[in-house]
Each structure stands twice: as C-alpha cells, then as structure tokens.
Chain A
C-alpha cells in the first residue's frame, strides 16, 4: 500500500499537515508522489457498492449514446468540437469504467480520471438539461470526485481546500478572531462616511444572519463593509455569526463529503444559536449551492432545507429594490450596455434567474442578455474549483472562450457577476484575451447609485 508523505489517502486534520502540504510549492512533490500512489481497489469497490445506487447506475446504463450532450458542454465547444470532450464519453470512460470493473483500476487510470473530473467538467450541470434520458453528468462527476478523493487522487489545491475546511471551517486560514476583527476594522473604516454603521456580531433573534465567502474576509474586506452599508441603508436588523460565518465549500469541489458536513454544520449551528428569521448568503454561487441546496443533505436534515429560510444576495437585493428599502438614484443608473453572468449554481441549480432580471431592471438602462441565458447559460469556465487549480490552467483558459464569445456578442463590456467563481473567471478571461471587458459584483455598483436617506448622511454633508 504505497502512499506518499503528501499525496495519500489521509485527511488533512492538523495545521502541521496543512503547512507541510502548502510548503510544497505548486504541489511539485505531491504530484510526483501521486505516480506511486496505489489504488485500493477493494475499498473502491466497497464504496461503489454502498453509494452507487439506482439513479447513477441507471444513468450509466441507459445512456443511448445519442450525443445530444456534446453541444451542451462548453468544453466541447471551446475545444473545437473535440469528441473526447463529449460529456457522455467523459463520464462513461471514467466513472462508467470504474463501476464496470468494480473498482479494479490502476494508478494511470485514476490519474486520467482525476484529470477528467477536474479539468474537463466544472459540474455546471448544463448537459443534464440537454439529455433526453435526464442524465445529469455534472452530478455524476461530483460523485466521481468523491471516489477520486477517497483514493487520494485529487488536485493539490483541492486537498488543501478540504484541509482548510477541516481545520478552520473556512476555505482559507481565517480564524473566528480574524473574522470578528475584520468586521470591527471595516466598521471603523467606514463609519465616518455612514454614521451609525454597525456590523453586529452574534446578535440573537435578528431578522437576517449574513454569511460570506472567506475570500471576502481575507482578501476583499471592503465587500463586508459594502454589505454592511447596504443593510444599514435598508434599515435591516441584521447580524453576522462569530462562528459559522463561512458559506463556501472547497470540500464540495474536492469531493470530501465528510468535510462538507463539518462545514455546513457550523453554519447551521450558528442559525440554531442565534435564531435569526432568515439567512442571506453573499454573492457567491457555489457557496449558496453548498450551504443552502446541498448542505441540508450532508447534515442529514430531512426537510432538505437549512434550519432557517436561506436566500441568495440577489434575492435580498431584488426584494430591497422592489419594496423600496433601497432606492436607486435614476441619474446614476448604469448607462452603458451591461450584461449579467448567470451563475450555474444559483441560477441553473437554484432557480433565481428572475431575481437577477428584476435587479437589472432597477439598476441598468441598457441591459443586454447573453445568448443563451438564465438556466441555459454557459458556465463561466472556471466553476467547480477549476479556477484555483494550477495543474489545469491551460484547460481552464481554453474553456473561457465560450464565455468570452457570449459576452462580446451581447455588445456589453460590463458584466455584472454576483458569484466569486464567475467574477474570477471573467477577470482572468480579460487577462488572457484583453478585450476591455469589465466585471463587478452587485454591492459596489449598488453603493454608487443608492440614495442615502437624509438622516443617515454624515454630519458635514448635512451642513452643505
């Protein structure tokens, strides 16, 4: 049973192990060790027996090999209709084979499977909408990632990500203290401009519990300040939890189901502890999917719903604009052509495309739809963790072409993108292709155009 010191089947549960893995720059040694990693075929066979049930087995069996899924996949389109990018082929030649051979596969096969599961599929679930048999290959790739993870065949960054969740209950090394301090710091920085601004931590019985993506705490703290200001202007009774503040799940991208459960349970615990009326999730797609849509199942909640009603930021914004909690200055609406990036995880998999359109109707004068759009929209190209995996940078960049063409065809150069993954992918797309495309979350745009009520303005502006 050969296992490496870094590349192995052990979970990252300690800071020491995590630091050791992080010290291996770009996973050089990690991937070298992967070449020696044995496949535990018996364990794999047992996992398949226990978890591969009629839904997936039927999908694998009744695929009529019609090929209608081909054009649904942006990787297929971006790679000049390469037949090896046909979703059916990708899943049949990986998961299909593993199931057929009852787990009896070798190292080379598992590495090929890993490369397919992370670099040829972002789990955007678009193919499932184009298959006559209702076969959702994105779901199967998610399952396959779990099999790969259990055998240690997982991209370096994904192993790190899952370890982060296990140790910090966040996708990055942000502790509860770091998080609370960041909230305090942001309040101090911004309260001069917005007197009375608060970021209440652990307030019980608030109307809203607001939860974020760890990147916001670590790299984009102004996002938290912007959220606070918008809640403040809207007059919301809100709070953030000290523990259970992080919604994302690199563990989901990694296929580490145990860590997925650990992560969402911290958020659900915060809900039980603070008893808010509603949770509002930040502008992130996979975080919403992980915590609101899939999380209840990991946590074993029989209703299939989180402990309190949970909505995505776009739902809150749409509601705030509709009810007039937030008012937009008509002169400051976006004048230039602007388009909207429908995130797979809360649009296709969450049904929130109407909220997105409603927001655009309030804030944009010249809204341009991409084609196709809503639940039929293409993945940004960086979903499913692909943005963050160095090993697959080339594949990712090639896949961005489809999104680029869609954006350019819309005639808009500004893309509203309320999803961290999409936001990153479009930023990188601009870096690679240099078309002059700009991208933004909703919060900074809203902040520029929202009307600040007189009583909430700073003292000196009242005097002028």
Chain B
C-alpha cells in the first residue's frame, strides 16, 4: 500500500496537479478578449503590466489594501492559513528526507517545532474560517457545502500529517491517509476553486490591467487598492 500511494499514485497526482494548472493558465489567457473585456491587453502593454503588478503586490502582502485593513482579524487568519499551507509541506524535514533518499535533492528545512506550530496554525485558522462562515450572516448566505468540502480537502493533509508525526496509535494508517489526502488535494487544485492558487494571480492581474489601461492608469493615476 505504502509503495503504491508513494509511487504511481503520487506521480499521477503530481502530473495532474502540474499539467492541470498549466491548462488552467492557458485556457484563462486564451479566453481573454480585448473587445468583450474592454481592455486593450496587447496594445497598451506597459500600462497593463504596471497595473497587473500593482494589483498583485498590494494584495499579496498583509494589510496592503484598504479591504484588508478594514478586516484585520480575517486578514491575519487568512495569511496564517495560506503561509502554513504553502510553506509547511515544501520545507518540512520529513518531506525533504524522502526527497533526498529518492532523488538526492532537498530544500532548506524548517526546524520541527516550527513546522509543528505552522501545522497547528493552519488547523486553527481553518477552524476560525469555518466558524466565521457560520457566524457572519453576510458570509453564511454565500456559503455552501462545496466551501466546507474544500476546507476539508485542504486541511486533511495537515491533520493526518500531524497525527502521523506525533505517532499516535495506528501510525501506518495515519501516514497512508496523510499521503492519500495530500494527493486528493493536489488533484483537486486544478479542478476546483482551489485553482485560485494560480487564478488568483491571473484574475488580480487582469483587473489590474483594466485599471492600469482603461480606468485611469493611462492618466498616470495610481489607484490606491
């Protein structure tokens, strides 16, 4: 079982993840239409690029925008969640040991206490985001089962990984479940809302180009996000 989930299944998951995301990017860009979107993407290019970069940069740093400053707790939780989600798996010691064994490469690694804290942070912030969905009427009305499912998909690898690492009873079981849940997440990313992993940048970039080209950017005005 372990051989299978870490062998062919893992390859398959990574391939789907990678090519799926590439496909999403290609389809998105190909579906842009200067006339329908009313943005001259390929004419006023320098203004477009400037607008796109501004739009991404201001939103990628905590409190870079008015929207984030107005919602400080949410902002902190969302950034903790995403930082944990991205940093932990890549720089986890155990993952890099496996990489080293298999391919002879490894990244810089996090001290294990830090990755443990990050894992707990992901779980806690996820819990906060779920409770927020239930508590706030303006979020509740737009929340559906799909949103909770995505929360489960993206936090399951952390919960199972945490349990496996701490060697609770049934280590083998949690380990396999951890690997499987991570593979489910990888496969889910291109096909679900989790595709915002790349579409965030494209969508933000697009709106940035809109502002950078049509909505004031060419007047030399830098929109304050």
| 3 nearest A-B residue pairs (beta carbon) | A351-B216, A54-B31, A351-B221
In this complex, how many residues of chain B approach chain A with their Cβ under 8 Å: the count is 62
42-93 of chain B: CB within 8 A of chain A: 43-44, 55, 59, 65-68, 70-71, 74, 78
- B225 part of interface (Cβ distance < 8 Å): yes
Q: Give the residues in chain B near A51, CB-CB below 8 Å.
A: 36
Contact at A351–B219, with CB atoms within 8 Å? yes
- Mostly helix, strand, loop or mixed at chain B's interface? helix
Contact at A54–B138, with CB atoms within 8 Å? no
140-174 of chain B: CB within 8 A of chain A: 140-144, 147
Interface, chain A (partner B; CB < 8 A): 51, 53-55, 57-59, 61-68, 70-72, 76, 81, 83-84, 86, 88-89, 92, 128-136, 293-294, 297, 300, 302-304, 348-354, 372, 374-376
Candidates B40, B74, B143, B207; contact of A128 at CB < 8 Å: B207
B68 to chain A, nearest CB (A): 8
- B10 part of interface (Cβ distance < 8 Å): no
Contact at A62–B38, with CB atoms within 8 Å? no
Q: How far is the CA of A57 from the CA of B193 in the complex (A)?
A: 12
Contact at B223–A55, with CB atoms within 8 Å? no
- B214 part of interface (Cβ distance < 8 Å): yes
Q: Give the residues in chain B near A351, CB-CB below 8 Å.
A: 211, 215-217, 219-221, 223
State whether A303 and B40 are in contact (beta carbons under 8 Å apart), knowing that A54-B32, A134-B206, A375-B224 are contacts in the complex: yes
Q: Give the residues in chain B near A348, CB-CB below 8 Å.
A: 215
Candidates B32, B40, B66, B193; contact of A64 at CB < 8 Å: B193
Contact at B200–A133, with CB atoms within 8 Å? yes
Q: What are 30 A-B interface contacts by the 8 Å CB criterion?
A: A53-B37, A54-B29, A55-B36, A58-B199, A62-B195, A62-B200, A62-B203, A65-B133, A65-B147, A67-B136, A67-B139, A68-B74, A70-B138, A81-B138, A128-B207, A130-B65, A133-B200, A134-B203, A134-B205, A302-B40, A302-B43, A304-B34, A304-B213, A349-B214, A350-B216, A351-B216, A351-B219, A352-B216, A354-B221, A376-B224
Contact at B143–A65, with CB atoms within 8 Å? yes
Q: How far is the CA of A151 from the CA of B223 in the complex (A)?
A: 36
Contact at B202–A58, with CB atoms within 8 Å? yes
